[in-house]
Amino acid sequence: MSILKPSDFLLYSTGTLLAYQVAKDFYGDEHYVWCTESFDAALQPGTSNPRTLCMRYLEQIIKKDRHATEINNNKAGILKGATAKYNAGIITAEQFEQIKGIVAYSKYEDFYPVVYLINKKAVKKRLKIVDPNERASDNSIEYILTDLKRNEFELVRIKDILTGIICPIDD
């Protein structure tokens, strides 16, 4: 008898509240995510480990680190995605400008991490294995979903979990 593991059913991805909200509001709640089979695998490098990414975002938010690579990378990723959506005709020029403004005026708290708990069975046929040259390491397990739909995941908002535990961010 084999024992079922969470990785038999779930994939995990960490993003930010801002990226989630942009996809929800402008892209019909369709999300672009990098994901993996474990929330915190020992051999998964920090840049592709969902737990580590959560911790890094939280540290940068709390310390208000202006040189935060994850936050800066997330901003760049949101803008890259908006450019692709605009070029594909999915969003209008006005929406593209709105997204650029949202990113430009974002605050640290907009980058609270969110964790996508993805139904592996629902997305299995659309999973793209990340090219070995683009993975964080030779040992990492990484996939891309370019069109994750809202009914294919549960969202854990870390900010909601931490309410009452940490002080609100003052800007």
pLDDT tens, residue by residue, 49-96? 999 999 999 999 989 888 889 999 999 999 999 999 999 999 999 999
How far from chain centre, in Å, is Cα 147?
Answer: 13
Evaluate the CA torsion angle 33, 37, 40, 43 in order and state its sign. negative
169 occurs within a structural domain? no
Question: What's the rounded Cα separation, in Å, for the pair 126 and 146?
Answer: 8
125 occurs within a structural domain? yes
* Predicted pLDDT at 155: 96
Say which amino acid occupies 108: Y
1 occurs within a structural domain? no
Evaluate the CA torsion angle 133, 153, 50, 105 in order and state its sign. positive
**DSSP 3-state of 3:** coil
pLDDT per residue as tens digits for the range 93-108? 999 999 999 999 999 9
167 occurs within a structural domain? no
168 occurs within a structural domain? no
91 occurs within a structural domain? yes
Give the mean pLDDT of the chain: 91
**34 touches 140 (CB < 8 A):** no
Which of 149, 127, 131, 128 is CA-nearest to residue 140?
131
Question: What's the rounded Cα separation, in Å, for the pair 153 and 46?
Answer: 23
Give the residue with greater pLDDT, 121 vs 8. Answer: 121
51 occurs within a structural domain? yes
**Cα→Cα distances 141→30, 64, 83, Å:** 23, 31, 28
98 occurs within a structural domain? yes
Highest mean pLDDT among 13-17, 57-61, 159-163: 13-17
Q: What's the pTM value of the predicted model, to 2 decimals? A: 0.89
Q: How many domains does the chain have?
A: 1
| Half-sphere CA count of 83, side-chain side, radius 13 A | 7
Domain around 24: 6-162
